[in-house]
Chain A
Amino acid sequence: DTEVTQTPKHLVMGMTNKKSLKCEQHMGHRAMYWYKQKAKKPPELMFVYSYEKLSINESVPSRFSPECPNSSLLNLHLHALQPEDSALYLCASSQSVGTVSREQYFGPGTRLTVT
């Protein structure tokens, strides 16, 4: 199984709402990632989790709150978002083996619209 699943596929939320994005993998990967992708732009790294601990936060605003409850699951909690946060949110996972490179597997993404 080389699949990363993300739910929901689409999400529309108001600026006062609280919602969560979910990502799951069952490949035994110990590194998981959140990316944000605006239309016609490349993915931008947001967060990296390694062995369920947050290792990289790319200066993401606090209205985005990541959580890694276990090695298979990654959540992104959303609160008080702005319309400019509308984007495709991508989750990825990879083995985490020191400095030896491993490819990342991406999910299909959640298309978020903030109204």
Chain B
Amino acid sequence: DAKTTQPPSMDCAEGRAANLPCNHSTISGNEYVYWYRQIHSQGPQYIIHGLKNNETNEMASLIITEDRKSSTLILPHATLRDTAVYYCIVRVPNTGNQFYFGTGTSLTVIP
């Protein structure tokens, strides 16, 4: 299984972009990178996922390096409601759709 490494915590000023890094240096060619977030005491919420190319949706952008060993989740204009734990997950291939969560980054958006 590819493991992920994320900083344990980050702060971001409200209205600014939040850039959350993730290292996954042992990722294999067919593994996707997923990002989820978990607001306190709620279930995790899907944000975005990608394989090779950069991806963007209404919530965030995902930038994956060319060698795929790291990625960055970008929340373009952070709000107080974006305060949450953000998990970067690499999908285990060939054994179904289960995910193994790493320790995540606790993002605090500061007014």
Contact status B43-A108, CB under 8 Å: yes
The size of the chain B interface, using a CB distance under 8 A, is 26
User: Which chain A positions have C-beta within 8 A of B98?
Assistant: 33, 45, 48, 56
The size of the chain A interface, using a CB distance under 8 A, is 28
Please, what's the 1-or-0 string for B14-57, where 1 marks a CB less than 8 Å from any CB in chain A? 00000000000000001010100010011111100100000000
User: Which chain B positions have C-beta within 8 A of A101?
Assistant: 32, 34, 49, 91, 97
Contact status B46-A105, CB under 8 Å: yes
Contact A42-B97, Cβ < 8 Å, known A103-B34, A105-B46, A109-B42: no
Interface of A is mostly: strand
Contact status A56-B42, CB under 8 Å: no
Cβ of A6 to closest chain B Cβ, rounded Å:
8
Please, what's the 1-or-0 string for A73-115, where 1 marks a CB less than 8 Å from any CB in chain B? 0000000000000001010101110010111111111010000
B residues at A contact (CB < 8 Å): 30, 32, 34, 38, 41-46, 49, 85, 87, 91, 93-104
